[in-house]
Amino acid sequence: MKFIVSSSYLLKQLQVLGSVINSSNTLPILDNFLFELDNNQLRVSSSDLETTMSSTLEIDSTSQGSVAVPAKLLLEILKTFPEQPLTFTVEDNNTIEISSNSGKYALAYAPGEEFPKAVVLEEPSSTLVPAEVLATAVSKTIFAAGNDDLRPVMSGVFFQFSTEGLIFVATDAHKLVKYARADVKASQAADFIMPKKPLNILKGILATSDAEVKIEYNDSNATFSFDNYTLTCRLIDGKYPNYEAVIPKENPNKLVMDRSQFLSSVRRVAIFANKTTHQIRLKIAGAELNISAEDIDYSNKAEERLTCDYQGDDMQIGFNSRFLTEMLTNLQSDEIQLEMSLPNRAGILTPVDGLDEGETVTMLVMPVMLNN
């Protein structure tokens, strides 16, 4: 088995696939890339048992076969080569030899049959989503997903597909983000919970792609195929909480203001907040917003006044500054709207401008109790 491939082309593909491999694996075979050669096509795969990703490369060869090559070693050597063709030859003594313009390098390989087989979905449902829509949906929601192992359903992003549109939701019980698209529709209704790791990998590659992503899914697995990549992952098992029930419907108090100005103020004032609660206080009266924080233990306090466009009753409400900062950073609009009903009910943050046709973003942040 022998093939010739461009060094930088191979490195670029392997760096993407390398993000699937865990730093410590229970099965030593998972520290390898699986190379499957079929004449002028080379399929490279990596896996952590939960997630398997593969990429198909166009190469120069007339042979067939499969070997598992140590991932870390291969990536390290590829990073040092300038752009050039490399020749890979599988020798009889269980080594694979790489020949470059300047030298020869041999690494031990394992038989390809030892590598775990990727899951093949039986009769899956499928939906086509433009890459940029999926990339935006993931980056807008993933930061709000939880890290609690006791509540695994909240540690992923909920995909809800219907004939009306697509909805993506993430929450950790303190904050919630719902990203909806009415301009992309699925052929039938379905929902599933995607884990964070494969989504982070997808987010990175989708940002530079303009392809359509084919999402195929059943009750336990989902596959994303686009360009020359295929990613298959196990879904999080369980029922997602009813997120619609926690979004307050009646919010008479509406505050509209400049996003970057609000964000800078929150960031500054938060430096003076208590280091465990991160609590900041918003006090709104007329067209004035007063943002303050205090750390009684150290006698630190800060207060800022901003002008805003406000309709509703005068009120005081407390928020965790970290959640507020994350949300404001994640929105791209020039102006944002914060809707509130009562100091103990969640606040709803939405962008006023900068959205595409058919796109809506709703962010929900739970208040913290103020001690007067």
Domains in the chain (CATH in brackets) are 2-114 (3.10.150.10), 125-245 (3.10.150.10), 247-365 (3.10.150.10)
Q: Mean pLDDT over residues 36-43, rounded?
A: 95
Name the band, by pLDDT with cuts 50, 70 and 90, for residue 312: very high
Q: Mean pLDDT over residues 278-290, rounded?
A: 95
Three-state SS for the chain is: CEEEEEHHHHHHHHHHHHCCCCCCCCCHHHHEEEEEEECCEEEEEEECCCEEEEEEEECECCCEEEEEEEHHHHHHHHHHCCCCEEEEEECCCCEEEEECCCCEEEEECEEHHHCCCCCCCCCCEEEEEEHHHHHHHHHHHHHHCCCCCCCHHHHEEEEEECCCCEEEEEECCCEEEEEEECCCCCCCCEEEEEEHHHHHHHHHHHCCCCCEEEEEECCCEEEEEECCEEEEEECCCCCCCCHHHHCCCCCCEEEEEEHHHHHHHHHHHHCCCCCCCCEEEEEEECCEEEEEEEEHHHCEEEEEEEECEEECCCEEEEEEHHHHHHHHHHCCCCEEEEEECCCCCCEEEEECCCCCCCEEEEEEECEECCCC
Rounded Cα–Cα distance for residues 62 and 331 (Å)? 51
Q: Mean pLDDT over residues 204-227, rounded?
A: 93
pLDDT tens digits, residue range 239-262?
999 999 999 999 999 999 999 999
How does strand 175-181 pair with strand 359-365? antiparallel
pLDDT tens digits, residue range 133-161?
999 999 999 999 999 888 999 999 999 99
**CA–CA–CA angle 342, 253, 343 (5° rounding):** 20
| Residue 281: pLDDT over 80 | yes
Q: Mean pLDDT over residues 340-346, rounded?
A: 94
CA distances from residue 17 to 213, 312, 358 in whole angstroms, order as listed: 17, 52, 33
Name the band, by pLDDT with cuts 50, 70 and 90, for residue 372: low
Model pLDDT, residue 298: 92
Instruction: Report the candidate in 334, 341, 163, 173 with the shortest Cα–Cα distance to residue 243.
Output: 173
Rounded Cα–Cα distance for residues 19 and 30 (Å)? 12
| Two tokens, residue 258 | 């400049």
- Interior/surface letters 41-78, b for 16+ CB within 10 angstroms, e for the rest: ebbbbbbbeebbbbbbbebebeeeebbbbbbeebbebb
φ and ψ at 238, to 5 degrees? 140, 175
Model pLDDT, residue 269: 98
pLDDT tens digits, residue range 348-368?
999 999 898 999 999 999 999
Name the band, by pLDDT with cuts 50, 70 and 90, for residue 207: confident
